[in-house]
Amino acid sequence: MNFPEYEQMADALLWYIYKNGGTSHSLRPKIIYEALADLLDIDERDRRKPRTDGYSGTQWENRVQWTRQKLINEGKLDGRTRGVWQLTQ
Protein backbone atom coordinates (compact mmCIF):
# COMPACT_ATOMS: atom_id res chain seq x y z
CA MET A 1 0.00 0.00 0.00
CA ASN A 2 1.44 3.31 -1.05
CA PHE A 3 -0.33 6.42 0.13
CA PRO A 4 0.62 9.76 -1.41
CA GLU A 5 3.33 11.87 0.19
CA TYR A 6 2.32 14.40 2.84
CA GLU A 7 2.57 17.42 0.53
CA GLN A 8 0.21 15.91 -2.03
CA MET A 9 -2.27 14.89 0.66
CA ALA A 10 -2.07 18.29 2.36
CA ASP A 11 -2.68 20.16 -0.91
CA ALA A 12 -5.63 17.93 -1.77
CA LEU A 13 -7.13 18.27 1.72
CA LEU A 14 -6.86 22.06 1.74
CA TRP A 15 -8.29 22.31 -1.77
CA TYR A 16 -11.21 20.00 -0.97
CA ILE A 17 -12.19 21.89 2.18
CA TYR A 18 -11.91 25.22 0.36
CA LYS A 19 -14.04 24.08 -2.61
CA ASN A 20 -16.66 22.09 -0.72
CA GLY A 21 -16.84 23.59 2.76
CA GLY A 22 -19.34 26.35 2.05
CA THR A 23 -18.84 29.89 3.24
CA SER A 24 -17.21 28.75 6.49
CA HIS A 25 -14.79 26.45 4.60
CA SER A 26 -15.44 23.63 7.05
CA LEU A 27 -16.47 19.98 6.75
CA ARG A 28 -17.01 16.90 8.88
CA PRO A 29 -14.24 14.29 8.68
CA LYS A 30 -16.51 11.44 7.56
CA ILE A 31 -17.14 13.29 4.29
CA ILE A 32 -13.47 14.09 3.80
CA TYR A 33 -12.08 10.55 4.12
CA GLU A 34 -13.97 9.16 1.13
CA ALA A 35 -13.77 12.30 -1.00
CA LEU A 36 -10.03 12.62 -0.51
CA ALA A 37 -9.53 8.93 -1.31
CA ASP A 38 -11.50 9.43 -4.54
CA LEU A 39 -9.52 12.55 -5.41
CA LEU A 40 -6.19 10.78 -4.84
CA ASP A 41 -7.24 7.49 -6.48
CA ILE A 42 -6.84 5.36 -3.37
CA ASP A 43 -8.24 1.92 -4.17
CA GLU A 44 -11.06 0.43 -2.10
CA ARG A 45 -8.86 -2.25 -0.56
CA ASP A 46 -6.36 0.30 0.78
CA ARG A 47 -9.16 2.51 2.12
CA ARG A 48 -10.50 -0.33 4.27
CA LYS A 49 -7.29 -1.80 5.72
CA PRO A 50 -7.51 -1.73 9.51
CA ARG A 51 -4.83 -0.10 11.58
CA THR A 52 -2.13 -2.49 12.76
CA ASP A 53 -1.42 -0.73 16.07
CA GLY A 54 -4.55 -1.93 17.87
CA TYR A 55 -6.49 1.32 17.58
CA SER A 56 -9.84 1.55 15.80
CA GLY A 57 -10.24 2.93 12.29
CA THR A 58 -8.38 2.37 9.08
CA GLN A 59 -4.84 3.10 8.01
CA TRP A 60 -6.24 5.55 5.46
CA GLU A 61 -8.23 7.51 8.05
CA ASN A 62 -5.16 7.61 10.29
CA ARG A 63 -3.02 9.00 7.47
CA VAL A 64 -5.61 11.69 6.73
CA GLN A 65 -5.86 12.55 10.44
CA TRP A 66 -2.08 12.99 10.68
CA THR A 67 -2.14 15.18 7.59
CA ARG A 68 -4.82 17.31 9.27
CA GLN A 69 -2.75 17.54 12.46
CA LYS A 70 0.32 18.72 10.55
CA LEU A 71 -1.81 21.37 8.82
CA ILE A 72 -3.09 22.52 12.22
CA ASN A 73 0.49 22.75 13.46
CA GLU A 74 1.37 24.83 10.38
CA GLY A 75 -1.57 27.17 11.08
CA LYS A 76 -3.50 26.27 7.91
CA LEU A 77 -6.38 24.45 9.62
CA ASP A 78 -8.25 25.44 12.76
CA GLY A 79 -8.20 22.60 15.28
CA ARG A 80 -10.31 24.22 18.02
CA THR A 81 -13.60 22.43 17.26
CA ARG A 82 -13.69 18.65 17.53
CA GLY A 83 -15.34 16.99 14.53
CA VAL A 84 -15.06 20.04 12.28
CA TRP A 85 -12.20 20.52 9.85
CA GLN A 86 -11.97 24.21 8.97
CA LEU A 87 -9.53 26.43 7.15
CA THR A 88 -7.98 29.28 9.13
CA GLN A 89 -8.85 32.78 8.06
What is the tens place of the pLDDT at every residue in 63-82?
Answer: 999 999 999 999 999 999 99
Q: What pLDDT does 2 receive?
A: 83
pTM: 0.90
Residues contacting residue 21 through CB under 8 Å, at least 6 positions apart = 27, 86, 87
Q: What pLDDT does 23 receive?
A: 78
Q: pLDDT averaged over the chain?
A: 93
Number of CB atoms found within 10 A of residue 4's CB:
17
Q: State how beta strands 85-87 and 26-27 pair.
A: antiparallel
* Largest separation between any pair of C-alpha atoms in the chain: 38
What pLDDT band is residue 15 in, cutting at 50, 70 and 90? very high
CA-to-CA distance for 62 and 38, rounded, in angstroms? Answer: 16
Total residues belonging to the chain: 89
